[in-house]
Structure 1
């Protein structure tokens, strides 16, 4: 027991401890994903691709929640996804489908959310309709782009501009509870 406590202390000191341990709790639900604008696959089954997209979007929100204080609860209901690009079923060799990414096919996500602090007080809530019209103007850090990078960057930008300032402001004015 003492050794494991020592290891955890050392990991925390070096910033290696699991970030999820001190993160907000997030619950992501998807409302009628079969009706989403565009989560069409190119070379795999529709159901498998849909699950991959939903899992990736859920991970994006989970990673964002890791940046918030422990004890916060964030409810997110995704009501629409329009992935960057558009599927052309006849563009590839031998009639294979390809996702064509052009600036006119910008990513968009619609969702409602409610963020509460560790006392149950509402910090932020609303319905968001995000669309990143300048998504191709960003340069990727690497030569290749990870899957769903455009959607991830769009949500990170929104989080940095909307959620983090609200959390910071709330923490500054929230009453401190003494033990």
Structure 2
């Protein structure tokens, strides 16, 4: 049975998409991201009672995002180790609004996202090229047109993107 050119093209497109998805799901081997005592992160300390957040619900996807984005800025042979020391997600719960708002995170400019981290960038020869600590902040996070994005970590991911945008040489 002979297949049509359209069917063959569709099969090739599906295989290419499957390859892209598989690569995105595989963590890069040149970036290590770890959390330093996430129980003491600002986000965890504010997460109590009815506002108790499942840390894995935001830490796992954030870790994967950081690794994937950081891998894109590295030159061949480079390696980057990142230790996240604090996370405070954008927004807060406002209990005075009443029980109907127990699960509603209010996003205002007075509740900006914050991520603190320490990093070490290694060259292909294993020597440290750059090392430092960063306090990622963006007071203008609401003015970036992210409000229509439905990703619950959109503001935190934007902080990571702003940091990495300069490239490995200017981390």
2:153 maps to 148
Count of aligned positions: 151
Secondary structure of the structure 1 residue equivalent to 2:42: coil
Aligned counterparts of 2:92 and 2:132: Cα–Cα separation in 1: 28
Given the superposition, is the C-alpha separation of residues 42 and 166 from structure 1 closer, same or farther in structure 2, using an over 3 Å criterion?
A: farther
Aligned counterparts of 2:131 and 2:118: Cα–Cα separation in 1: 7
2:8 maps to none
Aligned counterparts of 2:99 and 2:90: Cα–Cα separation in 1: 21
Secondary structure of the structure 1 residue equivalent to 2:77: coil
RMSD value over aligned CA atoms? 3.1
Q: How does 1:96-135 map to 2 (within 5 A)?
A: 96-135=102-141
Given the superposition, is the C-alpha separation of residues 96 and 165 from structure 1 closer, same or farther in structure 2, using an over 3 Å criterion?
A: closer
Secondary structure of the structure 1 residue equivalent to 2:150: coil
Aligned counterparts of 2:34 and 2:113: Cα–Cα separation in 1: 19
Q: So what's the TM-score if we normalise by structure 2?
A: 0.73
2:32 maps to 27
Q: How much has 1:95 moved relative to structure 2?
A: 5.7
Q: So what's the TM-score if we normalise by structure 1?
A: 0.70
Secondary structure of the structure 2 residue equivalent to 1:98: coil
Given the superposition, is the C-alpha separation of residues 77 and 132 from structure 1 closer, same or farther in structure 2, using an over 3 Å criterion?
A: same
Q: How much has 1:165 moved relative to structure 2?
A: 5.3
Given that 1:19 and 1:66 are in contact with CA atoms closer than 8 Å, whether structure 2 keeps it comes out as: no
2:55 maps to 50
Given that 2:51 and 2:103 are in contact with CA atoms closer than 8 Å, whether structure 1 keeps it comes out as: no
Given candidates 132, 143, 162, the residue that maps to 1:157 is: 162
More helix by share: 2
